[in-house]
Structure 1
Amino acid sequence: MRALTWLWRAFLFFVLFAFALKNQHVVDVRGFFGYSWQAPMVFVMLGVFGAGCAIGVVAMVPSWWRHRRDARKRLHIIAEQSPAADDPQAAPDTAGAVPSQLPHPPDMPAPRKPGR
Structure 2
Amino acid sequence: MRLLTWALRLLVFLLLVAFAAKNVEPVTLRFYFDLALQAPLVAVLFGFFAAGALFGILALLGTVLRQRREISLLRKKTPMEEATLPPPGL
Report the TM-score, using the length of structure 2 for normalisation.
0.87
Corresponding residue number in structure 1 for 2:3: 3
Give 1:59 shift. 0.8
Runs of 4+ in 1 over 4 A off after TM superposition: none
Report the TM-score, using the length of structure 1 for normalisation.
0.69
Question: What amino acid is the match of 2:2?
Answer: R
Residue 24 of structure 2: SS of its match in structure 1? coil
**Structure 2 unaligned residues grouped into runs of 5+:** none
What's the Cα RMSD here?
A: 1.5
Higher helix share: 2
Structure of greater relative contact order (alpha carbons < 8 Å, 6+ residues apart): 2
What CA distance in whole angstroms lies between the structure 2 residues aligned with 1:13 and 1:47?
18
What CA distance in whole angstroms lies between the structure 1 residues aligned with 2:21 and 2:84?
69
Corresponding residue number in structure 2 for 1:38: 38
What CA distance in whole angstroms lies between the structure 1 residues aligned with 2:38 and 2:70?
47
1:35-94 per-residue CA deviation (whole Å, 9 max, x = no partner) reads 110000111111111111111111111001110111012112201112xx348xx7xxxx
What CA distance in whole angstroms lies between the structure 2 residues aligned with 1:12 and 1:57?
23
For these two proteins, the number of residue pairs brought into alignment is 86
What CA distance in whole angstroms lies between the structure 1 residues aligned with 2:46 and 2:21?
13
Give 1:13 shift. 0.4
**Structure 1 unaligned residues grouped into runs of 5+:** 91-116
